[in-house]
Amino acid sequence: MHTGGRGLAAGTKHGSRPGNWERKPHEQSWPLALLDVAGDEFLGRLARHLGSVAGADAVWICACVERSGSRRLQSVAGWDAGGEAGELYFDPSGTPCQQTLTQGFGEVSGVCDRYPASPMARRGFDGFLGVALAAPASVPHGMIILLTRASHTFLPDSAENVRVFARRTGDELRNRTARVAAEVELGFLKRLLDAIPNPVFFKDAGFRYRECNTAFERMLGRTRNEIIGKTVFDMIPQEYAELNHLADLAALEQGQLVYENGMRFADGSRREVIYNKATLYVADGGGAAGVVGTIQDISAQRQAEREVHRLANFDATTGLPNRNALLSCLASLCESGGATGRWVMTLDIDKFHALHAGFGHDCCNSLLQLLGQRLIAQVAERGLVARIGGDKFGLFRFAPLDETGAGAWAEQVRELMQEPFVLAGQQLHATVCVGLAQAQAGDDAAGLLRCAETALHQAKGLGRGSCQLFVRDLDRSALTRLALEADLRQALGRREFSLVFQPQVDLFSREVVGLEALLRWQHPARGTIPPDQFIPLAEETGLILEIGRWVMEEACVLAHRWQMCGLPPLRVAVNVSSRQLKRAGFCDMISDILRRSGLEANWLELELTESTVMEHTETNIRILDGLKALGVHLAIDDFGTGYSSLAYLQRFPIDKLKIDRTFIADLPSANGDKAIAEAIIALAHGLGLQVVAEGVETAAQAEFLLQRGCNLIQGFYSGRPLTPDGVVALLSRPG
């Protein structure tokens, strides 16, 4: 703000008139001090000049501004004979300015009496002279205000002296308003750019930086002032600068260019980034003004992609390529014909499950790691080693071999096992079985690996440490079994399993008293696969653990749902395999399933075979005691087919014996089966246990059992297995 103390020296930060300017006609009488300046400097000098020629005590040049829908006057320059002019910002309503804005001119005396609330009166000014600033036939955009105190009056011709400068002052105000608006907009755009987290820059047509945001400054470790006017060759290492410059040229030619490149950041780190560059054109159809670009740091994304690839293609335990990686390698070679004549080897550790039970999970993982290292050392650069599942490894030799050479290779691999493995301070001797298959023209990767696994399966049938070469068309059953295993691994994820429920009926009351959950597999191509075909396979491969948990969860959820629907509560029996029972935390798993399903433990019955409970009897007694403590019912399934020590039997916390169907099928004619069935029933009664007969299909069988005191049966005689909807229909029948 200009004050009375400021002189009329030429020069302003907003620029002065050039030396070759000529005075306009209405400027002929102006003092030189007003002719060679512009902008705020002109307005400040004009305020002082008008105060002098009009005999005013104060002068303000004000701009009209809009605030919240109402007009205000705001001073942009001022002069006060008494010192600092200060600033004005006020509503013209209720002041002499209101009439002046309407009529274009106003001169008022007695301001303190007529407008006591006005800013002029509050400052002690009593005389007012004002000229509105406006283009012809337009709304005023500003005003020149001259003021005098009570004891002073304006000099003659003051109004005319003010009007002389009105047009030039109006032009300066309009320019000032436009300049301030542009500065506000530029400030907004700069803040907007700075709010963008990615680096943003603009280069002119000569590829010199003209603008950037703070993210770009941080990336280069330079300030904006250090960047503006420089080229990319001044800012980043030559290895990146040349490519960036070529990309700038391409962006100008093509209009836009997106590409990925490395970038060295200010902190010294090398990042992977995506550049997006586009040509910026001059307004009104002009040529290219330069290139605007953004930079996106995608280092974390690329690292995540590499990690996903690693997890998808490498085994977490050994660090070796996994089955997927081996198949990918084989597929590439098979498609190009490069696999023909080469050999694929599969091997696994004999009796690995026994080793796992004896040494524990961590030691067996160490064994797999050590074996992987030996295999890598043996194959070296001549092939690929992968862990393809469990304790199974797959190897591929790049060089062709005849059968003799393949046999020698297998022998070399088996010799790796001669040196004992040291685990937890103990020496462990292990052997492996080996299967080999040779690639032929037309083979695909999956088929080739499957042939090697078929050979491995045949080798395992020959005994520990055996080796077998795959002979094509010799054993289709083994291939079928491997295909079934592959499908079984995906069946759960594909929702191909379902449950049916075999009713257990009380012969006295003819009422359903329980249900046994039975697993069914509906294969999309093969149709229904009998349980006796896939359950043993699931046991052997360990898939029974995952499948068994799903059966347990599904049965508990359905049983609880039926109860919530108001149906009579029934105990649901679920079969438990030996591998499930031996799994660490089995009791905790059952407790968790019951908790999440909402089913009370009393309504769940676990069925275990004789052979299962008689393995590791002391351990199993502790597990069964833990299950019993949860409130779960326990039954021994297929009783009579295995070997049970009566001394142990009475120590097991069981609730029920189930007579195996093999002793029921020929009743009541077969004397031997009659004797066994009667003995089991008597044993159950003697131990205070319930007894259930399985596989009852005829009325004669049911009558025989009822007469011997076995009133609980299940089988086709009492009802075929039912779907969940069938169970609802059965239990909803009246009576």
d(CA 293, CA 291): 6
Residues 694 and 597 in one domain: yes
- pLDDT per position as a tens digit, 288-312: 888 999 999 998 888 888 888 888 8
pLDDT at residue 283 tops 50? yes
> Could you read off the pLDDT of 139-159 as tens digits, one per residue?
788 999 999 987 678 888 888
What pLDDT score was predicted for residue 3?
42
Among 248, 268, 302, where does a domain finish? Answer: 302
CATH of the domain at 121: 3.30.450.40
Tokens linked to 105: 């001119």
Contacts (Cβ under 8 Å, ≥6 apart) of 668: 674, 700, 701, 703, 704
What's the pLDDT band for 262 if we cut at 50, 70, 90? confident
Question: Per residue in 391-441, pLDDT tens?
Answer: 999 999 888 888 888 889 999 998 888 889 888 778 888 899 999 998 887
Q: Which two tokens stand for residue 571?
A: 């105990």
Q: Which of 34-38, 342-346, 592-596, 717-721 has the lowest mean pLDDT?
A: 34-38
pLDDT band at 480 (very low <50, low <70, confident <90, very high): confident
Confidence (pTM): 0.45
581 and 463 within one domain: no
User: Cα separations (Å) of 348 from 318, 379, 409, 414?
Assistant: 15, 17, 16, 11
State both tokens at 509.
């009351």
508 pLDDT more than 80: yes
Does position 228 have pLDDT exceeding 70, yes or no? yes
Question: Does any domain span residue 191?
Answer: no
pLDDT score of 210 more than 80: yes
Over residues 646-660, mean pLDDT: 81
**CATH classification at residue 615:** 3.20.20.450
Distance, in Å, from the CA atom of 675 to the CA atom of 658, rounded to the nearest integer, reads: 16
Three-state DSSP class for 430?
A: coil
Tell me the pLDDT tens digit for each residue of 164-179: 888 888 888 888 888 8
Return the minimum-mean-pLDDT range out of 77-81, 189-193, 252-256. Answer: 189-193
- Range in 220-234, 334-348, 698-712 the model is least confident about: 334-348
Q: How many angstroms separate the CA atoms of 454 and 460, rounded?
A: 10
Residue with tokens 């512009």: 38
Give the C-alpha separation, 693 to 638, whole Å.
Answer: 9
Report the percentage of the chain scoring pLDDT > 90. 39
Q: Residue 127: helix, strand or coil by DSSP?
A: strand
Q: Residue 203 in 3-state DSSP?
A: strand
Both 174 and 274 in one domain: the answer is no
Identify the CA nearest to 707 among candidates 508, 512, 510, 514: 508
Cα–Cα dist 121/95, whole Å: 9
Query: Do 588 and 524 belong to one domain?
Result: yes
Where among 181, 209, 233 does a domain terminate? Answer: 181
**Do 271 and 367 sit in the same domain of this protein?**
no
Structural domain contains residue 451: yes
Find the mean pLDDT for residues 115-123: 92
Distance CA 550, CA 519 (A): 10
Q: Are residues 255 and 324 in the same domain?
A: no
Is 186 within a domain? no
Print the domain residue range for 372. 319-474
The pLDDT value given to residue 286:
65
472-487 average pLDDT score: 71
Total domains in the chain come to 4
Computed over every residue of the chain, the mean pLDDT equals: 85
